[in-house]
Structures are given as C-alpha cells and as structure tokens.
C-alpha cells in the first residue's frame, strides 16, 4: 500500500512537472464531464419544475369515465353523492359541463367558455381565490347564477381585479343570464401551464345547476367525473373502491365499464419522457468523454516515448514491470480524475449560468438546476475509469520496455 502511494506521488510529481500539457490533456475530460453534469442538472431541474407545476394542478386527482357509449352507464349525480359518502379518503368529487357563450362589457365583446361545475371545485383549485369565494352548496342546489372568473379575465373584462359583486350578462344559446361575480381566482403559479391569449375565451365558472335555465332540463349524467384524494390517501385503494361501488350500483360487475386515470400515471409518463431526453443528451455528451479518453491515451503514448530514458533508468535501478505500469496508470487516472473534478465544477457552474440566461431571456421558464450527487459520484468514478482504461495501453508499452533498449535511446 505504501509502495502504491509512492507511485501515486511519482505520478503527481510528473503531472506537476508538465502542468501545461497535463491541463491540455485534461481538457477533453473537463469538457466531457462538465457537459454530462450540465445536461443532467438542467434535465433534473426542468423535471422538478414540470413535476411541481403539474403536481400543483393535479396531484391526487383521479378521473373516472364511462367507456360505454350507449349512454346507459353514465355517471349520475346520485353516483357522485354515493362516492362522496361511501368511499374514505376523498376530499371532493365533481362533474362538469361546459358551454360557449358571449358577452359585452365596456372593454368590448368577448367569447365565453362557461364551465358548470360543483361546489367541490374549490378543493381542485390549488392556486386558490384572490378575492371573494367559490359558490357554496346552497347556491349550487338552488342554481344561483354566481360566477368565479380569473384575475387575468377580470382585467380583460373590467380593467380591474376588484370585481366581486359586479354582474356579467352572458348569452348562451340565445338565453341571456345575469351572473354575479362572487370570486376572482389567483393567477396560476407557473406561467408554463397557463396561456392567456388576446382572443382566448373568458373562462367563467358557475354551479352546473345553472345549465337548467339554459337547456330547460337538469344536467344529471356525465361521461366523466373527477375525484380528489385526500393528501395522504392511497389513490389506488380509492380507485378500486369506487370501481366496486359503481359496478354494484350499475350492476355491471367485472365488465370494466368504468375506467380510471390516475394523475400520478400522467406524472410518471412525463417523468419517463424527461428522463429519456436527459439520458439521450447525456449519452451524446458522453461521446466527448470517450474522445477525451482517447486524447489522454495519445498524450500518454507521447509521454512514454519521450520518457523512454527515464523508464530505462528506473528499470536499471530496480523498477519492476508492475511498478512502471502502476506509475503510468496512476498518472493517467490522476489526470482524468482531476479533469473530472474540474469538469464537475464547470458543469455545475455552466448549469447555473444557462438556467440564469434562460431566466433572463424568458422569465416564465425560470428554474434552478438540480445537482445530483449520484451523477457527480458516477462522473468522478467514470472519469477515473476512463483514465485507467485508456492508460492501460501506454502504460503497458512503457512497462514492457527492456532497460538496455530504453537506456540506449537518447
């Protein structure tokens, strides 16, 4: 062991004696490792942002839909009540229906996307209400035309966010209903997920029972309902309990009419995609590592040729094949390890730099890179491994030299 340290010391001494060349040799490794670290950090950072903003919107959400298109297995309001009462761990259930309409204010004429829904919508809205409130059970049951709009839309419609209590005259299919605004939603946290265009319809949320005034009949059956699980509830248990309940209520046991989509399924798909992109780009970056390794091998070969005499002297003085081999191998391993460490620092720096530039160019895409410790450890080991792998050939060449041959050469 102490002998091994001696060879490492020799290797260090030689790297120090050839600083400029050692650095140039490292450059390939530095570029390779830093680009891998950079890609992984940025990829993880982006993944975190996507995950967070999607989780903010939909974590715990389960969608249930009827896969029967004859209409006889639709989900009814009674089903919704039954789910709410009989399945544990559900925070809210809702169904919704929408209609397009139009309205006029002093700011102009707008198209409206009217969304009729249920009081539980307040639980589904993760960003929350800026002013006022969502409609309550009583307003829902009595079909009161009360509306919640977004802050952006409030500004478009009235030039102000202080609009609670104001009226909206919205025309749906020739019948005009006067809604009273009771709430203004906060703007979404992440602008990655919300896009408001100049002429996109104004979104108005109101009790679904209001549709009775428009259609003349109650909207009572749905193809799809959304459930929101309590934070610590097991969405898979809820899914199977709801499935059983629905199959019992509609006498269709085992027919798989009611299908479920869990939000975490979407999340894992998104994560898989981001991971695949990250891995792919990392692999591309890793090619430069291989190129760097070949650079190390070339320089080490040159170094062996240049130091033939030194090798001869060492052998004459009693160095064994193994000693020379270890000395040259440690040299290339140390060069790539140092290169790797510099690369890690540059990679982290580069990741912050790029995310900073992205943040300046497009503030809505602002995100922090996520530095992954396993990636750093792997990169260090990998760079060291490259040094050893690409160092083997030159080191063997050096170790095999015959001392007289080596000494004879000037």
Partner 1 sequence: MDALVDVRDMKKIYNPGENEVHALDGVSLQITRGEFVAIIGQSGSGKSTLMNMLGCLDVPTSGEYYLDGRDVSGLGDDELSTIRNEEIGFIFQGFNLIPNLTALENVELPLIYRKVPAAKRHELAVESLKKVGLENRMDHKPAEMSGGQQQRVAIARALAAKPPVILADEPTGNLDSKSSIEIMRILKELHEDGRTVILITHDNGIAESAKRIIRIMDGKIEADYINQNVQEYGGAKKA
Contact footprint for partner 1 (CB under 8 A): 2-3, 6, 13-14, 17, 309-310, 312-323, 402-404, 407, 410
Element (H, E) at 7: helix 2-17
Rounded Cα distance between 340 and 329, Å, is: 16
Cβ at position 397, least distance to partner 1 in Å? 15
Torsion angle in degrees (nearest 10) through CA of 147, 152, 153, 156: 140
Q: Which is nearer to partner 1, 348 or 407 (CB)?
A: 407
Q: Which is nearer to partner 1, 12 or 123 (CB)?
A: 12
Cβ at position 1, least distance to partner 1 in Å? 11
Q: Which is nearer to partner 1, 25 or 35 (CB)?
A: 25
Cβ at position 327, least distance to partner 1 in Å? 10
Q: Which is nearer to partner 1, 13 or 377 (CB)?
A: 13
Cβ at position 358, least distance to partner 1 in Å? 47
Measured between alpha carbons, how far apart are the two ends of the chain, in Å? 34
The alpha-helical segments, DSSP class H, found in 220-320 are: 235-249, 263-306, 308-316
179 Cβ contact partners less than 8 Å away, ≥ 6 residues apart: 145, 146, 147, 167, 168, 169, 170, 204, 206, 210
- Answer yes or no: are the C-beta atoms of 279 and 39 closer than 8 Å: no
Rounded Cα distance between 141 and 204, Å, is: 18
- Answer yes or no: are the C-beta atoms of 113 and 254 closer than 8 Å: no
Q: Which is nearer to partner 1, 11 or 342 (CB)?
A: 11
Q: Which is nearer to partner 1, 107 or 309 (CB)?
A: 309
Cβ at position 335, least distance to partner 1 in Å? 16
Cβ at position 309, least distance to partner 1 in Å? 7
């Amino acid at each position: 062991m102490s002998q091994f340290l001696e060879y490492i010391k020799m290797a260090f001494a030689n790297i120090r004696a050839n600083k400029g060349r050692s650095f140039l040799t490292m450059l390939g490794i530095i570029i390779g490792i830093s680009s891998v670290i950079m890609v992984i950090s940025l990829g993880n950072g982006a993944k975190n942002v996507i995950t967070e903003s999607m989780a903010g919107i939909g974590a715990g959400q389960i969608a249930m839909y009827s896969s029967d298109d004859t209409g006889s297995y639709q989900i009814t309001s009674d089903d919704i009540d039954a789910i709410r009462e009989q399945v544990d761990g559900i925070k809210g259930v809702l169904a919704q229906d929408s209609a397009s309409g139009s309205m006029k204010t002093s700011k102009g004429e707008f198209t409206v996307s009217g969304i009729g829904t249920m009081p539980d919508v307040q639980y589904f809205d993760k960003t929350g209400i800026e002013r006022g409130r969502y409609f309550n059970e009583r307003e829902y049951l009595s079909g009161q035309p009360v509306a919640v709009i977004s802050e952006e839309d409030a500004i478009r419609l009235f030039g102000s966010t202080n609009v609670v209590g104001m009226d909206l005259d919205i025309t749906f299919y020739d019948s005009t209903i006067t809604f009273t605004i009771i709430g203004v939603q906060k703007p979404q946290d992440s602008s990655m997920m919300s896009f408001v265009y100049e002429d996109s319809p104004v979104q108005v949320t109101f009790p679904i029972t209001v549709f009775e005034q428009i259609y003349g009949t109650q909207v009572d059956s749905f193809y799809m309902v959304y459930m929101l699980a309590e934070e610590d509830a097991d969405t898979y248990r809820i899914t199977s309990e709801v499935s059983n309940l629905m199959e019992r209520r509609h006498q269709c046991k085992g027919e798989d009419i009611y299908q479920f989509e869990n939000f975490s399924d979407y999340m894992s798909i998104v994560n898989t995609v981001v991971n695949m992109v990250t891995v792919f780009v990392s692999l591309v970056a890793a090619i430069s590592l291989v190129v760097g390794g070949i650079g190390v091998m070339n320089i080490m070969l040159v170094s062996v040729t240049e130091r033939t005499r030194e090798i001869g002297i060492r052998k004459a003085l009693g160095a064994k094949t193994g000693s020379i081999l270890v000395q040259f191998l440690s040299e290339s391993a140390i060069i790539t390890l140092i290169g790797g460490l510099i690369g890690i620092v540059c990679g982290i720096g580069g990741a912050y730099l790029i995310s900073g530039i992205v943040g300046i160019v497009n503030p809505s895409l602002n995100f922090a890179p996520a530095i992954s410790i396993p990636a750093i450890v792997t990169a260090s080991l990998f760079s060291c491994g490259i040094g050893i792998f690409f160092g083997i050939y030159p080191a063997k060449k050096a170790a095999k030299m015959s001392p007289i041959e080596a000494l004879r050469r000037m």
